[in-house]
Amino acid sequence: MVVGKLRPATVTVDLAAIRHNVKEEIKRLDGHSELFAVVKADGYGHGAVPVARACRAAGATGFCVALLDEALELRAAHFTEPILVLGITPANEAAIAAANDVSLTFGTLEWLQAAAENLAAHANTPLKVHIALDTGMGRIGFREEADLRAACDYLTAHQDTFITEGIFTHFATADEKDTTYFKQQAKRFNELVAVLPRRPKYVHVSNSATSLWHAACNGNMVRFGVAIYGLNPSGRGIPELPYPLQPALSLTSELTFVKMLHKGDAVSYGATYHAAGDEWIGTVPLGYADGWLRRLQGFHVLVNGQPCEIVGRICMDQFMIRLPEQLPVGTTVTLVGEDHGATVSMQDVADYSHTIHYELCCILTQRLPRRYINE
């Protein structure tokens, strides 16, 4: 996708905020635990490589991604730290991972057997693997002791082919006040881990929410994800945090057109908005093709610190706002961030659009250029 460098619309990422959030979490670790920074999905839309550099500078000792391709991006950027692919990679790509010292996740004996064939044919080095346990997420991993025991026996018999580096699970409700299901999963994790003939280097269960609110479960590695970016994993569900998270992302643009509408004049597709009287309307040059959702009609942005309602349907590349007065073309418009003491947070946007801030960060498209400050 073409990056809109010549259009006044920019995602700004404050790397000082990234470093702050990582350093604050590392302070809370017990000295025997490591923090792996989760930079999948292009660093949750913030930019994987710049974010990874900031996390490493703040003390992260490894990285987690979702795809082997994402791991290879980090290797190409000269990261030498451990990298774990959290999703299931096709077994016929095992040799590529081994050649690049990337750790892969598996959850079946069949995957191990297929990966061993691929490694025998194409690799001269063993593959580092992490065992996924499905303790209640219902996504990937071993569920039964017998299946896990058979895989462990296979690993023991193929120590020249695989290095068992870790074992982990993922909690479904760590970001909720009700801990009933969380405790069930923790119990199941301990039952399954007991099957192992020996514990691997990394035993890890903690995403951001688990580490923030259930640190006793951390094991010896934390997969620190959304909190890196200064976002509360629970949304507004658990406002109490052990330290202030600093949001790293802001989204700004400018007015590209300003006009006076009169009573009854309509705005945008479907003519869903009509001016109640004489109104100054400004046009902002981004839309749902940039990840600014169509359903945000009726929400607001900031102009000179004042909330300005989005009027009419958001278009693919533009949307309109009602201004308090005539303002010049080129006036800054803040979609996410701080402006003259007022703030629109990603959580505010998520609340209005009935989704989560994770999704909103990830869908900001590459058409929006990323600018990095406080490097």
Q: What is the mean pLDDT of residues 92-106?
A: 98
Residues belonging to the chain? 375
Of 160, 164, 136, the closest CA to residue 151 belongs to 164
Quick: pLDDT tens for 320-372: 999 999 999 999 999 999 999 999 999 999 999 999 999 999 999 999 999 99
Mean pLDDT computed over every residue of the chain: 97
Residue 223's beta-bridge partner residues?
36
Do residues 245 and 58 touch, judged by C-beta distance below 8 A? no
Of 35, 5, 30, 8, the closest CA to residue 19 belongs to 35
Strands 342-344 and 332-339: antiparallel
Residue 124 phi/psi, 5-degree rounding, is -110, 0
Sheet strands (E) in the chain: 9-14, 34-38, 62-65, 83-88, 103-106, 127-132, 162-168, 202-204, 221-224, 249-254, 257-261, 266-267, 273-274, 279-284, 300-303, 306-311, 319-323, 332-339, 342-344, 370-373
Question: Which residues participate in the annotated binding site for substrate?
Answer: 139, 316
- Give the chain's domains with CATH numbers: 15-229 (3.20.20.10), 249-344 (2.40.37.10)
Question: Which residues participate in the annotated binding site?
Answer: 139, 316
Residue 217 phi/psi, 5-degree rounding, is -95, 5
Residue 250's beta-bridge partner residues?
12
CA–CA gap between residue 68 and residue 187 (Å, rounded): 31
Residue 216 pLDDT class (50, 70, 90 cuts):
confident
Q: Supply the pLDDT for residue 217.
A: 87
Is 269 marked active-site? yes
Catalytic: which of 187, 259, 263, 269?
A: 269
CA–CA gap between residue 57 and residue 59 (Å, rounded): 6
Q: What is the mean pLDDT of residues 90-112?
A: 98
pTM of the predicted protein model: 0.96
Is 40 marked active-site? yes
Quick: pLDDT tens for 131-158: 999 999 999 999 999 999 999 999 999 9
* The two structure tokens encoding residue 188: 């199941």
Residue 252's beta-bridge partner residues?
10, 334
Q: Supply the pLDDT for residue 291.
A: 98
Catalytic: which of 40, 44, 202, 288?
A: 40
Q: Supply the pLDDT for residue 123.
A: 82
Of 270, 245, 250, 354, the closest CA to residue 320 belongs to 270
Taking CB atoms within 8 Å and a gap of at least 24, the contacts of 88-96 are 88/132, 88/140, 91/115, 91/117, 91/118, 92/118, 93/68, 93/118, 94/118, 94/119, 94/123, 94/127, 95/119, 95/121, 95/122, 95/123, 95/127, 96/68, 96/72
Of 286, 299, 213, 262, the closest CA to residue 25 belongs to 213
